[in-house]
Structure 1
């Protein structure tokens, strides 16, 4: 395994961590940084790369059906976990952080939600379940590292929101989720089954956001 296949995602995640927590910029600029790091830079740097994981015709129908079932299960698990742990999650502080630090308010939340469902989920699947998995396919760590990087990356997002026990639980869940995402893609060799599950997971999270912004 070449060192740069580990260093590249590591530096990418550190850069996005700096964008997320080190400087105060709007959600639009954070989104632009993610697009550059997860898609534009890799495409420019890896010009000979085939990106076979984007070939939708390779995706097996069985994988899609399994992904739909798992997606419903994941969304239900997220909502159930929130209901069990809601006393440990400060939605007021979370909303204030989103409004002040990121600029996500009730008026723009619907637009952000659409982007998260269809855009952000695809960017993350492209990078973590597509690009990294292909780069590490000859390595014994091809299962471990993409899921680990996926979990670590989300620390940058969750860090201001949760106490350490909840944060560690979320990161552990993301690591296990990453393994499941990668497993569901294995037969087809494309990212579309895991993208479906990812969308359902985001639906679960966004439903909590709807409650936070409009109901509570």
Structure 2
């Protein structure tokens, strides 16, 4: 039997809601000579090794790409922490991110994670998720809202600041969200700090003394990773 050299590239694309993601895998052989597709439930970042089985000679060791592009910020916690400051984030939310120009919500989320470095429905736990959401409206639609004004492309658009939502994902189930007013507007710099004590996580925005308290669903020492996910 004649042996022929071939090249195989496997790529993946995240589909669906980031909280309940699936992955579309594309297997490309010899630059499109044959293309196969497969839908998986585990995310790309769970891939840490490749195994080849069969009568095959490998000319080049398989390489696994890094998937850090899916995060805007990721912090691995190396030591167990029962109390104190878990996160101290200085950031800027520019108004230029309001490029969707529709009533589709956008914003950012902060995840405090256990046993994972990205939220997934089958793996690990979300000790706390904090969601900041904004909506952009056209001039006509904005008449129905009380909004901030944003100008670009010689047009005026309006942004509505929605609430902050806090919840946890434990044993494959989300807790009921807790809702608070959102003091962070677009086009502004802000500071967000998360402190832990014996009973609560304390969210402090712009050094305000009006803290947001979140009762522990899991102890803070189980947190191994904090990620900030920005969605357009």
Query: Which protein is bigger by CA-based radius of gyration?
Result: 2
Answer 1 or 2: which has greater strand percent: 2
User: Structure 2-normalised TM-score?
Assistant: 0.27
Relative contact order: is structure 1 or structure 2 higher (C-alpha 8 Å, sep ≥ 6)?
A: 1
Answer 1 or 2: which has greater helix percent: 1
